[in-house]
Amino acid sequence: MAVCGRFAPTPSGRIHLGNILCAMLSWLSVRAKGGRYLLRIEDLDAMRCPRSLADQIEDDLQWFGIDWDDGGSAGGESWYQSTRSPIYDRYFEKLEQQGLLYPCFCSRAELHAAQAPHRSDGTYVYAGTCRGLTPEQIAEKRKHRPPAMRMRVPDRTVSFSDGCQGVYTENLARDCGDFIIRRSDGVYGYQLAVVVDDAEMGVTEVVRGRDLLESTPRQLYLYERLGLPAPEFYHIPLLTAPDGRRLSKRDGDLDLGVLRARFGRPEPIVGMLAAAVGLRPTAEPVALAELAADFSWDKVSRMDVALPSEILQR
């Protein structure tokens, strides 16, 4: 089967060094296999994701040396999630017909205040508060607020082999809980949108940060219930500050605007990232295309990578 990969950024801010590492590794993996590479814009919350930021991401990627075979602005509106609600509607109906969805009226404040179960890492697991509401209770609650829609999960263990992190196992009921499919404002949730889009676009491998590893079992369950083929997954290490703090758009850590102004060209950044994750023994500047010939996932570190302090100096 032909390999197809993608980069799917959310244009809520300028992409940072961690984002560009994800784009870099996903691009190298596809190009090393002679596959097809796509650019999808994950702007589900259109109010937070102006088109101007999506255009800036394209410019940053091209400057870095990343090209794509389809998608982005040249591919048309269908490559922006904010335009794809009619497609998500069809798959939502499939889940609804299977009796897998139910309305949830819990507010964010109520969820945070509830004495609900948590994973060992502190992540909140929905307690199923609205799972057993009667039709009469639902009708009464609808008078006061529109509901989100949640998907029921079974007491079932899902295990898969990640191409970077190895075997990962999770119990859907205990470690995940019923999850949001559509928000109360009608915007579809990430879990459904990413599954539908990757399947419809023919994506065979998904490369993303290790922080999304725990999302994969619920997505595999969605692939199964929707009768869609699941891709292979590669969850890459996260880049952190020397103190272990994760890089984020909110903090403005090393976004591409800062990096482009500091370095002037992409080769020093490519060399630094390649060395940080184990692709090369030194951080000598190198063009991205030069790394494709001998790229292998066996070289990529599983552990998060702390950047040296001098890198974070503005």
DSSP 213: G
pLDDT value, residue 116 = 47
Predicted confidence band at 123 (pLDDT cuts at 50, 70, 90)? Answer: low
Question: How high does pLDDT run on average in the chain?
Answer: 91
Q: What residue type is assigned to position 227 of the chain?
A: G
Q: What residue type is assigned to position 13 of the chain?
A: G
Tens digits of per-residue pLDDT, 211-220? 999 999 999 9
pLDDT at 40 over 90: yes
pLDDT at 255 over 60: yes
Tens digits of per-residue pLDDT, 191-246? 999 999 999 999 999 999 999 999 999 999 999 999 999 999 999 999 987 777 77
Which of 72-81, 237-246, 254-263, 276-285 shows the lowest per-residue confidence on average (mean pLDDT)?
237-246
Distances in Å between the Cα of 131 and the Cα atoms of 92, 96, 242, 288 are: 18, 14, 43, 50
Query: What is the C-alpha radius of gyration for the chain, rounded to an integer number of angstroms?
Result: 20
Which tokens hold the place of 68?
Answer: 């794509």
pLDDT value, residue 57 = 97
pLDDT value, residue 187 = 94
Beta-bridged to residue 118, according to DSSP, are 124
Name residues whose C-beta falls within 8 Å of residue 280's C-beta, 6 or more positions apart in sequence: 271, 274, 286, 291
pLDDT value, residue 171 = 96
Strands 232-236 and 239-240: unpaired
For the whole model, what pTM was predicted? 0.92
